[in-house]
Every structure is written in structure tokens, then in C-alpha cells.
Amino acid sequence: MHRLLLVLTSLLSPLAGAAPDPQLTAALTNLLGAEPPAYQSALRDLNADGIDDALIYALGPDWCGSAGCTLFVLQGSADGFNLLSKTTIVQLPLRVSSQQTHGWHDLIVYAKGEGDVVLRATEAGYPLNPSLQPKAVDADLQDSQLLLDYQREP
């Protein structure tokens, strides 16, 4: 619980002055049918199609609980972004691996009670529950790139 509070507290401060990405905000508004929550995002081509995909770490009481927050993965296209998958109870940091499953880069996230775990894509997208996924080993972490992290207070 303490780790989550640190994550949320430190994420909310930088968001106040950060300008949201208009394309991502529009995609989230369309997806949710409402004003999108505060979020952190990263763009990365996860499926090697030459178009960036979006990783959206949603914040706020509707998207976060004691075990973590919701991560949306949006597939990029020439027309914008479409929902690929939603993973709940995710904690930062979020990393992308050079390893791929079903044509998509594996993601590494922190799962409460489990530590760092590997999210491997299926034909339906990334798994819903990270706590049921395999633990990341040192080689996974060394072979990954940090995409999103929380900032610690000085």
C-alpha cells in the first residue's frame, strides 16, 4: 500500500503541469465515452508495424486501487489509436522487452505481492491480471527499456 501511495502521489504532481497528448486524449475519450482520467503515457512501436502504439497508465479513484492502476495498450494506426487490451492492478515501473510473443513486445510491470512480472501478448492482447503472470528474471530486466516510472520526491 505504501508503494502505491508513493506512486500516486509522485505521479499526480508532474501531471498538473504536463500537457496531455491530444490524440491520446481523443482515443481515451472515445474508448471510455467520457472525459479521460489523468494519465501517464508512452509511445512505442510494440508490434513492428512502423507505427507507434500507446501505453496509457490511468490514474485516479476510478482506475486505481490498493494493488495498482489500469494500463491501456492502444494499437496505433494511420487513423489514430484503438484499444488492444486493458490490464488492471499494474504498478510502475513499466518496461518493454526486446522479446516478442505473438508479434508484440513483452511488457514488464510491477505486480503487488509478486514483484516484476512479464506480460506476454496473446491473440487477444496483453493479460488482464499481472499477478497471475510469470516473474521477470534478471535477464528479462537487463533486456528491457524503461518506458514509465514514478518520480520520487527529493
Q: Is the pLDDT of residue 36 over 50?
A: yes
* Cell of residue 69, nine digits: 492502476
* Reported pTM: 0.84
Place of cell 510502475: 92
| Closest listed residue to residue 6, CA positions, set 92, 87, 99 | 92
Tens of pLDDT along 53-87? 999 999 999 999 999 999 999 999 998 899 999 99
Positive or negative, the CA dihedral 34, 61, 89, 115 is positive
DSSP state of 78: T
Tens of pLDDT along 10-31? 343 334 335 567 888 888 898 8
Q: What are phi and psi of 111, to 5 degrees?
A: -115, 125
- Residue of higher predicted confidence among 47 and 150: 47
DSSP state of 27: H
101: left (phi over 0), alpha (psi -120 to 50) or beta: beta
Positive or negative, the CA dihedral 106, 115, 11, 29 is positive
